[in-house]
Amino acid sequence: MRTLLSVMAVSGACVAYVKNTVLCDMAGYNCLGVMMCWSGSIARKKQTEFYIPKLKPLKSAKRDNTPALDCDFSAIYVMPLEMFVNYNIVKGDCLDPEDPPDRFIRLVGDKQREIGAVVGYSLFDGVTAKSLKAKDRDKIYHLWSTKKMYPYCINITNCQKGDVREILAYRQYFDPQREPDSAEGIAVYGPRRRTQPARVAMSTPDG
């Protein structure tokens, strides 16, 4: 059973709180769709860039047994126009498997960066809290050929009836030219700790 609370803001921000309760013993489940983001079809631009802090350079498997694609999201990565990939980024792709990426930043534009979007999770509350050391996060992100943003937040096995997992996620659209560090002031609040915000930084390595 899933309980969802979503809060929208005029600044282009959205915060979602999700509570998953297991109603019977089960083999396990993944949680991919808590916070997703556009594939780029609503903002068709000549260049798409992607930045995922805390990752190592990796090889992404392509679809239909085509050659692997070298991807380095640890710096701002210019995505190919066509990117026929099907790959799960996992703990082994992280600089520290116990501290996986908590935010995923997309930038698009023609002659310059025009639109930015970031999706991410709280480092203070829920299953993505840093203190849990990624206990329920074997998968981090799903790379797919549409370039839609698919961050994982839960991958668990051997669930017991009554098990509860909570997720606190956010999405923010921003103007990369006017506010390259727009998320420096974002405060994400958990439902039981509203006096202690989970602050997240969204600055990119070269602005």
Q: What is the pLDDT of residues 143-198, one digit of tens each?
A: 988 888 889 988 888 889 999 999 999 888 888 888 766 544 444 545 444 433 33
In a domain, 207, yes or no: no
Residue-averaged pLDDT of the chain: 81
Mean pLDDT of the region 19-25: 91
- The pTM for the full model equals 0.81
Q: Give the pLDDT confidence score for residue 9 in this predicted structure.
A: 66
Residue 31: pLDDT over 90: no
Q: Per the domain annotation, does 205 fall within a domain?
A: no
Counting the structural domains of the chain, the total is: 1
Average the pLDDT over 20-49 and give the result.
Answer: 80
Let me know if residue 60 belongs to a domain.
yes
Three-state SS for the chain is CEEEEEEECCCCEEEEEEEEECCCCEEEEEECCCCCECCCCCCCCCEEEEECCCECCEEECEHHHCCCEEECCCCCEECCCCCCEEEEEEHHHECCCCCCCCEEEEEEECCCCCEEEEEEECCCCHHHCHHHCCCCCCEEEEEECCCCEEECCEEEEEECCCCEEEEEEEEEEECCCCCCCHHHHCEECCCCCCCCCEECCCCCCCC
pLDDT for the residue numbered 171: 87
pLDDT tens per residue across span 111-152: 999 988 888 899 999 999 999 999 999 999 999 888 888 899
> Is 43 domain-assigned?
yes
204: in domain: no
Is there a domain that residue 102 lies in?
yes
**Structural domain includes residue 206:** no
Domain span at residue 49 reads: 2-199
Q: Quick one: pLDDT band at residue 200, thresholds 50, 70, 90?
A: very low
